[in-house]
Amino acid sequence: MINPEYRAVSDHATAAAKARAQHGSWVLAGVYANSQTSKSVAAGIRAGSPSFPTYQPTGAFDAYAAPAGDRESVWVRYVEGAEPLPPFPDRMTVRVRHSDPAPSDLGVVTVTVTTRCPACGGPRGWDTVQPYPFQVGDEEYTADTWTNPCGHMDLYPHVLEESRTRQLPPPPAPKHIVEAKAPPQEMPQVGLILDAAREHRGMHAARAADLLEVRGFADDAALIRAEIKNRAGHLSAKQAATLLRDLHRSAHLSTDYQMGAAS
């Protein structure tokens, strides 16, 4: 069911009045046959062009053009007011569930897509993105979910297809995130265990420790064996991988910690 607020309005006077009444909310102002027209209309509205007197004065309205199915849409929002409105990003990076080429390859992939709903051109729920954990067999995954204010649902296969058709670079990170440390890459030890655990369902941590020892990660093998003892034997290989990842991650954040350094 499509939110009636996001249905087409017939003329700019109505769109402008509606947008003025809902300060900051995007309103569909028109649907056009080609993107050249929709882009010039959006630019005209933003620039306060005399061709669009209903959106005067200059700077009172924000506008953008976006595909809407096989048509082209123009959306406006009334921005004049004491409080500056937050910018509307043009891209969003999300984790989507994928299950191709074969269902056995099921997993999660991170993609960057436009913040405009492909069906109507309206804003996607880029500010409602939430983690969506799911389980397949004994594997745990986390994708993202969001709700589009227009009511059009984004299905994972469509989002995936969209990201393949139109590859976008990730949006620039907000300043406070740029300053934060990037998460470390997955460590080879963890990857080794997870690969083995994928092949051997219900693999015990003791086998993970053996595997690491053989592959030259004696310190990590010892860590896992100590933890098996701590937990009276109740530790799976996957839990051991998570434990190692957490330990190394906290070590990564601490400056005086040297992994494997004997004291």
Q: Which residues bind Zn ion (CB under 5 A)?
A: 117, 119-120, 122, 150, 152
- Residue bearing tokens 């607020």: 5
Pairing of strands 27-32, 139-145: unpaired
Q: How far is the CB of 35 from Zn ion (least distance, A)?
A: 17
Measured from the Cβ of residue 187, the count of other Cβ atoms closer than 10 Å reads 19
Nearer to Zn ion, 156 or 217 (CB): 156
Nearer to Zn ion, 119 or 193 (CB): 119
Nearest one of 251, 245, 224 to 235, comparing CA atoms: 224
Q: How far is the CB of 2 from Zn ion (least distance, A)?
A: 7
Nearer to Zn ion, 48 or 125 (CB): 125
Q: How far is the CB of 3 from Zn ion (least distance, A)?
A: 8
Q: How far is the CB of 146 from Zn ion (least distance, A)?
A: 12
Nearer to Zn ion, 127 or 138 (CB): 127
Nearer to Zn ion, 120 or 208 (CB): 120
Nearer to Zn ion, 44 or 67 (CB): 67
Q: How far is the CB of 77 from Zn ion (least distance, A)?
A: 16
> Do residues 97 and 108 lie in contact, with contact meaning Cβ atoms separated by under 8 Å?
yes
**Separation between Cα atoms, residue 117 and residue 151, nearest integer Å:** 10
Q: How far is the CB of 152 from Zn ion (least distance, A)?
A: 3
Could you report how far apart the first and last alpha carbons of the chain are, in Å? 65
Q: How far is the CB of 168 from Zn ion (least distance, A)?
A: 18
Nearer to Zn ion, 113 or 117 (CB): 117
- Residue bearing tokens 């963890």: 190
